[in-house]
Every structure is written in structure tokens, then in C-alpha cells.
Amino acid sequence: MSRAAAIARAEKHFDSGEFRKILARRIAIPTESQNPERAQALSDYLSAEMQPAFEAMGFTCRTLTHPRAKAPFLFAERIEDPALPTVFGYGHGDVIRGLEPEWKDGLSPWKLAEHDGRWYGRGIADNKGQHTINMQAMANVLAERGRLGFNAKYLIEMGEETGSPGLKALCEAHREAFAADLLIASDGPRLRPDRPTVFLGSRGSMNFDLTIEARQGGHHSGNWGGLISNPGIQLAHAIASLCGPTGQIRIPEWVPAELPASVRRALADCEVDGGADGPEIEPWWGEPGLSPAERVFGWCSFEVLAYKTGNPDTPVNAIPPRAWARCQLRFVVGIDPSQILPALRRHLDRQGFPMVKIAATREEMFHATRIDPDDAWVQWAVASIAQTSGKKPAILPNLGGSLPNDIFTDVLGLRTVWVPHSYPGCSQHAPNEHLPPEILREGLAMMTGLYWDLGAGGTPKREAA
């Protein structure tokens, strides 16, 4: 009974094909949360896969619901001794639409398949593969030690891909039941395929629409060109006023006052690399004076996600009456979310664009979060991962993308340590979602070691209640 034996057990479980069988079974359940016809699949994933797996590890399970949520949640817990540390785990079993016709020949989103040394299937990266690793890691510790040596609570939701409706209210209602010392969970990508990574929060995200409604109907460009305004041109200039030609944001309220020293230190040795299939980083784009890691993990970014004026599919010789753009701001700690749209309104008015209408979208806004990279629990987790992998993990103050992490930090009061088991080139949310099996295997070993260390003593002191 030892740490090394537990990790060897994890590697044997993977190499035997057992891990792949479990993952294949879970990927086969088409849990598309954006598709109303998949409501039964969302419930089946919890009842047929998650609950039996947790109960086999001695967890007690409860299905939880909330009026704001479109799908149920599963809460599992194993309390060995109230005096021991308690870790809260989280994962989501829902996935983005399969987009089956767009996958490579011979591949299906609902069948785990190996092609060119990679494993393909919808959810393998986001998030079925990741929480399957963590659950199996706990099973490895139990099989080797006979107990976890800590208390475990785990929440699986089925609506993350639709903005986690009801998650915050559920956590508020069950704050006492969900109480723990910290969250250890997995989502998102590593910094690089070959480098274990820990991130401590996420950038916030707000989507909004910019619209100009100039008049009813289009008018012939030969008869009216030069006499009436073109909303497409006006909106293009309005958007250009928001950021420079190299992507530098021009609204002061949309960027932090400074990059904290602890964040800068943590990112000093972090090199962004999307792998062979990732896009090439363009060093001239974004906030000048910052490294690529600082731009994506320590700063804010503005994006135009979609733009439409006239009829793009069949253009006609008419001045369009309307222009529309879906925009997004990814923001870090230090930005006041309540001031994002008011600041935008003031800016557009100052720049001479009062005709541009601003509207927040229905999508849930994610708030920015991060904990201190120097926190004792962070350093403990990094040391454990380094011992198992033999590599120096990257510490990211926050993920470049967005997660409902503020619910765990602000509602439940937890430190949050995320250990991702994916990489930037995984085609998450796109056709051909995949992972190299080497990342899955290393992740399983690392999490087995992490959970072993959590139950072996030597963790940071628990704070007084």
C-alpha cells in the first residue's frame, strides 16, 4: 500500500483498456444540452453512469433539481471523518451539439474511435473525459488504500454548455451541504500539450449585440448612394472605435489598472502553445508590452463574433437598412461587470455613434475569478503534480476562457484549483473533438497521486470555521 502502487494501478487500468471502455460508454450517450430532444439523455447520464460509479466507491447520491435549471444535478458525497479535509469536485456531463455531418469520414461524435494516434468523441475533452479521470483516480486510491483519507463531495451538472442555469441558486440553497475546504476539478485545456497545468479561476465573459436600425427596407444604391447613411459602414466605424487595428482595447473601464505582481510572476515561465493543430500566435496582436501568456491570462480581450448587414448570401445593389454584430468581452479580476455596458454607451456617444443600440444577450454572464498563485493549497497541489509527472506544472492565475467559477469562490467560499486534462488544439465545441491518449493517461496518474496525497496528511492547515 503506497503512493507508487496507487499510481501503478492507475497506469495499469488505463493500459488494460478498462478506462477506454468506461469513457466510450459515456461518450455514447448524446447529452446535447442545447437540444430539447435530448432531455432524457441528460437524465440517463446521471442515473445510468454517474450514480452507479459513485455508489461503487461508497458515495451516497442525491438527484437535485431547481426551477431555473432545465436538467437535474447529481450530488455525491463520502464522509469518512469530519476532522479530515473535505474536497469538492465538479464536472458537467452535457456537451455541445454533435454536428455529426461535419466530422471526418469514419468518425462519429457518439462513438469513441482512435485515428492517427488520437481518441475522438464528443465530450472527450469537454467534459466527460476530464471528470472520468478524476472519478477513476479516486477509485484507484480507494482500491489501494481501502479509504480515501479525506472527505469527498462531488456535483455533476447537465447544463454547463447552456450557461449553467440554476447552478448558482442551487449552490445558494445547499451551501451548508456543499461546504468544503477547497474545490479540485478539471475543465479547459493545459497551457501546452506536454505540460501539466493548474489554473485558479477564469476570465469573465459578457456577450452583447450592437445594432443600427436606420430605416424600413433597403434602397437602390444608385439612386440613394451618397444621400442616405449606410448602417454597415457606421457600425464598422463604431466597432473600430472600441479597439485599435492591432486589437488594443480603447475603453479604459474594460482593462485592469495593472497586472498584479503575483500574476506576472506566475506567468513568467508560461509559453502558450496550441500544439501542431493550433493557430500560430501573432505577437503584434493585443495589448502591447505584454507577453502572450499575460495577454490571454492576465488581460482583457474584445472580439466580434459575428457581423451582418444586407444579405451576405445573395448581395443586391441596395443600401441595407440594418446592421448587427454579436460582440464579446473577456475580462479579468478588477473589471466591474456592472459597468461594462454603461462604459460602452458613454464611449459610443462620445465618438458620435448614438444611433448604435446596445443589448445584452440572453446568455449567462460569467464573472472573473482567481485566487492567489502563492496560496498554500496551490503550492501543495503543484508539488504533488510535479512529483507524479516529473515536470514543472504551469500555474495560470485564471483560465483564458470562462467557467462558473465565481459560484464556487463567492457562493461556497472555496479556494479553486483546476487541473485540466485537455489541450488547446482539441477541437472543443467543434467537429472532431479529440485528445491524445497520452494526456489522459498522465492526467489519471497525476490525479491519483493528488488524491493519495490529500488523504496522506501533510496538507495545509484548515482554517477555523
Determine contact, residues 156/59, Cβ cutoff 8 Å.
no
Helices 3-15, 18-27: axis angle to 10 degrees equals: 60
Count CA within 13 A, CB hemisphere, residue 66.
Answer: 18
- Evaluate the omega torsion of the peptide bond into residue 127 and state whether it is cis, within 30 degrees of 0: yes
3-class secondary structure, 21:
helix
Q: Is the dihedral of CA 182, 186, 189, 195 positive or negative?
A: positive
- Where residue 244 sits, what CATH number does that domain have? 3.30.70.360
In a domain, 277, yes or no: no
In a domain, 465, yes or no: no
Clarify whether residues 374 and 315 are in a common domain: no
For residue 275, CA distances in Å to 18, 122, 208, 427 come to 28, 20, 31, 12
| Own/partner long-range contacts of 343-346 (Cβ < 8 Å, ≥24 apart) | 343/251, 343/252, 343/253, 343/254, 344/208, 344/242, 344/251
Clarify whether residues 432 and 338 are in a common domain: no
Using CA atoms, how far apart are residues 257 and 335, in angstroms rounded to an integer? 9
Q: What is the pLDDT of residues 42-96, one digit of tens each?
A: 999 999 999 999 999 999 999 999 999 999 999 999 999 999 999 999 999 999 9
3-class secondary structure, 48:
helix
Clarify whether residues 184 and 238 are in a common domain: no
Q: Does residue 278 surpass a pLDDT of 90?
A: no
Clarify whether residues 38 and 151 are in a common domain: yes
Clarify whether residues 233 and 90 are in a common domain: no
In a domain, 54, yes or no: yes
Q: In what order do the strands lie in the sheet with 322-331?
A: 301-309, 322-331, 204-213, 357-360
Q: Does residue 14 surpass a pLDDT of 60?
A: yes
Average pLDDT estimate for 313-320: 96
In a domain, 443, yes or no: yes
Clarify whether residues 225 and 243 are in a common domain: yes
pLDDT the model gives residue 362:
83
Q: Average per-residue pLDDT in the chain?
A: 95
Residue 357 CA to its chain's centroid (Å): 30
Clarify whether residues 225 and 239 are in a common domain: yes
Query: Residue 465 — pLDDT band, cuts 50, 70, 90?
Result: very low
Of residues 434 and 272, which shows the higher confidence score?
434
Clarify whether residues 245 and 102 are in a common domain: no
In a domain, 268, yes or no: no
Q: Does residue 464 surpass a pLDDT of 70?
A: no
Using CA atoms, how far apart are residues 77 and 153, in angstroms rounded to an integer? 4
Residue 258 CA to its chain's centroid (Å): 24
Clarify whether residues 198 and 209 are in a common domain: no
In a domain, 285, yes or no: no
Using CA atoms, how far apart are residues 17 and 443, in angstroms rounded to an integer? 16
Clarify whether residues 222 and 88 are in a common domain: no
Average pLDDT estimate for 115-127: 97
Query: Residue 463 — pLDDT band, cuts 50, 70, 90?
Result: low
Q: Does residue 332 surpass a pLDDT of 80?
A: yes
Helix (H) or strand (E) holding 157: strand 151-157
Average pLDDT estimate for 380-406: 95
CA proximity to 210, closest of 240, 190, 183 = 240
CA proximity to 388, closest of 132, 1, 11 = 11
How many domains in the chain? 2
Output the nine-digit C-alpha cell for 224. 440613394
Using CA atoms, how far apart are residues 412 and 176, in angstroms rounded to an integer? 9
- Where residue 178 sits, what CATH number does that domain have? 3.40.630.10
Output the nine-digit C-alpha cell for 245. 487595428
Of 326, 360, 394, the residue that ends a domain is 360
Clarify whether residues 306 and 384 are in a common domain: no
Q: What is the pLDDT of residues 207-247, one digit of tens each?
A: 999 999 999 999 999 999 999 999 999 999 999 999 999 99
Of 326, 341, 360, the residue that ends a domain is 360
In a domain, 289, yes or no: no
Domain that holds residue 399: 3-202+367-454
Q: Is 349 exposed, middle or buried (0-12, 13-18, 19+ CB in 10 A)?
A: exposed
For residue 136, CA distances in Å to 326, 445, 446 come to 40, 10, 12
Clarify whether residues 229 and 352 are in a common domain: yes
Of 312, 339, 360, the residue that ends a domain is 360
DSSP alpha helices (H): ranges in 268-352? 292-297, 340-350
In a domain, 460, yes or no: no
Using CA atoms, how far apart are residues 465 and 454, in angstroms rounded to an integer? 20
Q: What is the pLDDT of residues 252-269, one digit of tens each?
A: 999 999 999 999 999 999
